[in-house]
């Protein structure tokens, strides 16, 4: 029997669509899904939905899957992150041989991927941590793909992955070798963190539009539709009018019947953890994650609404849609700027040498955060010889400066009106924190030295020289601040 080019484990929607995509690009695909008692076999169900003559090979055990593949074997895992990946790898490892390649295409934590790569490397097996973005539509028609690991296997798997990826108008595939180690999964995690922030910002502007336009769905949809023709053009902006206009079976707007509890699968939280681990500010994503946490506490929110009624709050009629547009654009720039800064900082700490221009390029099509200004981000990083935060660059400095008055006005109006805009406000506060040449952190250092002798630096002494003061004695007393002894 003819051997398959690749094996695919996991036939949920993403796995199914990637299988169809691979076969359509000329690859023979072996299929496997764990057996679940009392349910139809997923492989049989999938094959029944496909035309006859397709280059699919059904298998019903991991041994059968492995035996059906050309060497070096290539197996793509499209299964839930965490224990299922560990369990599957543990079952696969004894069946594989030196030089075989396993591609984890799920949203695995990059530290888990690093651990698994090390364990499999000892057996001569390669594990590729591969971020895949685009949802079920992207999986079928072309996602953005972010593989990483031992570069020795890049030439073996890149042609296949680039074949199924989205392509820009000039033919550039939205797939590139990200770097060593588990960098591909880290990049996908930060991609999702930016996605969290982007979605939360759109939701907050929708909240303001809803009040201003008196919940007129058509008017709100038209506004987002117009915005999607300009600098705010993106996948997320583009789907918003469709959602706003969608009517339930009885003709009522479906959106008004969707419970306001936003779920998550962990990548947003992991982005925040990565920011904490690398000492990198990530306010927009962090507030977006917290907003999802709070959305789940529906009963408490309802009680707070009763305890603190919206009395004597300012109206937001003063805002126009252009100002809302500018505020959203500026805050989105901030969300992306923080995401790319986090990518750079983690890359530096791990010595990965991530190419930020390449990342912006492969995110321009196929992925959830694809947007018009990713082209500008790619251009900025391609032209810049050394890293600078996006807000330092002339292009984005000009855009922020133009939008800043509206950004401040909209945020202030929302706060005065009692409309929660945690991500919008966090983005503006983060911006002002960056431009604060003299922060109040000197008082924090003084307090820390007062109660814990944590030491501080002085503006009139070289950086790195530490001081401690006996704060219970005035400076002209016999115990002035003194340089701390070396530790």
CA-to-CA separations, 85 to 67, 93, 105, 300, in angstroms, rounded: 20, 12, 10, 36
- The H-or-E segment that residue 463 falls in is none
Query: Do 234 and 369 contact (CB within 8 A), yes or no?
Result: yes
Catalytic residue among 16, 23, 74, 195: 195
Q: How far apart, in whole angstroms, are the C-alpha atoms of residue 218 and residue 112? A: 46
Which residue carries 């990518």 as its tokens?
Answer: 343
Whether 188 is catalytic is yes
What is residue 486's three-state secondary structure? coil
CB 341 within 8 A of CB 334: no
Are residues 362 and 439 in contact, defined by beta-carbon separation less than 8 angstroms? no
DSSP state of 93: G
- Count CB atoms within 10 A of the CB of residue 311: 6
Determine if the peptide bond prior to 71 is cis (ω within 30°): no
* Residue 128 near residue 153, CB atoms below 8 Å: yes
Q: Looking at 188, 210, 269, 399, which residue is catalytic? A: 188
CA 61 from chain centre, in angstroms, equals 34
Whose CA is closest to 19, among 57, 66, 48, 52? 57
Is residue 33 within 8 A of residue 10, CB to CB? The reply is yes
- CA–CA gap between residue 73 and residue 103 (Å, rounded): 11
Q: How far apart are CA 196 and CA 208, in angstroms?
A: 19
Tell me if residue 97 is catalytic.
no
Residue 274's Cβ-side half-sphere holds a number of Cα atoms within 13 Å equal to 33
| Apex 339 CA angle, 360 and 344, nearest 5 | 75
Exposure string for 394-424, b = 16+ CB within 10 A, e = fewer: eebeebbeebeebbbbbbebbeebebebbbb
Q: How far apart are CA 159 and CA 177, in angstroms?
A: 11
CA 292 to chain centre: 15
Kindly list the catalytic residues: 188, 195
């Amino acid at each position: 029997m003819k051997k398959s080019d690749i094996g695919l484990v996991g036939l949920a929607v993403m796995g199914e669509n990637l299988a169809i995509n691979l076969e359509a690009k000329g690859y023979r695909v072996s299929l496997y899904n764990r057996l679940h008692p009392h349910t139809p076999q997923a492989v049989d169900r999938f094959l029944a939905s496909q035309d006859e003559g397709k280059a699919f090979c059904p298998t019903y055990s991991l041994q059968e899957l492995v035996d059906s593949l050309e060497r070096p074997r290539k197996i793509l895992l499209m299964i839930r992150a965490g224990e299922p990946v560990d369990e599957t790898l543990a079952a696969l490892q004894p069946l594989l041989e030196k030089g075989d390649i396993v591609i984890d295409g799920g949203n695995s934590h990059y530290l888990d991927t690093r651990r698994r790569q090390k364990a499999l490397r000892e057996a001569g097996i390669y594990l590729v941590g591969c971020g895949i973005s685009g949802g079920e539509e992207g999986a079928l028609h072309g996602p953005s793909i972010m593989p990483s690991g031992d570069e020795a296997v890049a030439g073996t798997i890149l042609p296949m992955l680039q074949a199924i990826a989205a392509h820009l108008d000039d033919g550039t595939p939205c797939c590139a070798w990200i770097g060593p180690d588990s960098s591909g999964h880290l990049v996908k995690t930060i991609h999702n963190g930016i996605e969290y922030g982007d979605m939360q910002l759109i939701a907050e502007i929708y909240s303001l539009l809803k009040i201003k336009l008196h919940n007129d769905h058509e008017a709100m949809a038209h506004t987002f539709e117009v915005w999607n023709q300009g600098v705010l053009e993106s996948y997320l902006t583009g789907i918003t009018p469709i959602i706003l206009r969608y009517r339930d079976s009885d003709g009522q707007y479906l959106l008004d019947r969707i419970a306001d509890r936003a779920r998550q699968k962990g990548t947003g939280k992991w982005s925040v953890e990565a920011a904490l681990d690398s000492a990198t500010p990530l306010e927009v994503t962090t507030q977006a994650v917290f907003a999802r946490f709070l959305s789940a506490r529906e009963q408490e929110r309802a009680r707070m609404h009763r305890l603190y009624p919206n009395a004597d709050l300012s109206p937001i009629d003063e805002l126009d849609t252009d100002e809302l547009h500018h505020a959203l654009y500026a805050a989105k720039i901030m969300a992306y700027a923080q995401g790319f800064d986090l990518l750079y900082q983690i890359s530096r700490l791990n010595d990965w040498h991530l190419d930020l221009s390449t990342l912006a390029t492969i995110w321009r099509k196929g992925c959830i955060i694809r947007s018009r200004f990713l082209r500008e981000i790619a251009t900025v990083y391609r032209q810049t010889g050394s890293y600078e935060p996006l807000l330092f660059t002339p292009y984005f400095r000009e855009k922020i400066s133009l939008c800043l008055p509206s950004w401040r006005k909209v945020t202030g109006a929302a706060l005065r009106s009692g409309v929660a805009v945690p991500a919008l406000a966090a983005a503006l506060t983060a911006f002002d924190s960056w431009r604060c040449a003299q922060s109040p952190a000197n008082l924090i250092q003084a307090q820390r030295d007062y109660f814990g002798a944590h030491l501080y630096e002085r503006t009139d002494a070289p950086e790195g020289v530490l001081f401690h003061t006996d704060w219970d004695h005035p400076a002209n007393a016999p115990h002035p601040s003194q340089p701390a002894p070396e530790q």
